[in-house]
Amino acid sequence: MKTLTSRGEDYLRTVYEIVKAKGYARIKDISKALGVKPPTVVEMMKRLQEQGLVAYEKYGGITLTPRGEEIAKALKRRHEVFKRFLELILVPDDIATRDAHILEHQLDPKTVLQFTRFVEFITLAMETGRPKFVEKWIEEFKKYCEKHDRL
């Protein structure tokens, strides 16, 4: 079986997001979301179907297979972890979204795991107020960035 390319991952995650919102995806939905032409989407859907990741019928809706959904959930989670990390270090939202996309395809799985653990640790600390040093660290980092933005 072929391995999933980064482009294939993008399509799979996009299908997942559209299916979660609408119950199914159409070629035009995916085309619009990814900014590509419909024939390009059709070709990728055929490839993803061959890999057993989507159920695709010409002129019909597209859904994920159980295996496709499992992989897509993991891809979405990975993307969210990188986006959240970039937000924590005060990267503007539009840049964080774009850069999270780059990071999610370039790093070793062990590095991804450590990013995930770090983001979970920081997020949990901020939600529960424990340990307190995390909130203080975030505040001090914001002040540091503000100070250096004025320079």
Query: Is the pTM higher than 0.75?
Result: yes
In the chain, where the domains are located: 6-71, 76-150
pLDDT at residue 40 above 60? yes
In this structure, CATH architecture of domain 6-71? Orthogonal Bundle (1.10)
pLDDT at residue 151 above 70? no
* Per-residue pLDDT tens digits for 56-92: 988 889 999 999 999 999 999 999 999 999 999 999 9
The confidence score (pLDDT) of residue 118 equals 95
The confidence score (pLDDT) of residue 131 equals 85
Please report, for residues 29, 86, 113, 127, the alpha-carbon distance to residue 100 in angstroms, rounded to integers and kept in the order given.
22, 7, 15, 23
Alpha-carbon distance of 117 to 19, in angstroms, equals 28
* Per-residue pLDDT tens digits for 88-142: 999 999 999 999 989 988 888 899 999 999 999 999 998 888 888 888 998 999 9
CATH code reported for the domain at 76-150: 1.10.60
Specify whether the CB–CB gap between 88 and 145 falls below 8 A. Answer: no
The confidence score (pLDDT) of residue 49 equals 96
Q: How confident is the model at residue 1 (pLDDT cuts 50, 70, 90)?
A: low
Please report how the helices 66-88 and 6-22 are oriented relative to each other, as an axis angle in degrees rounded to 10. 100
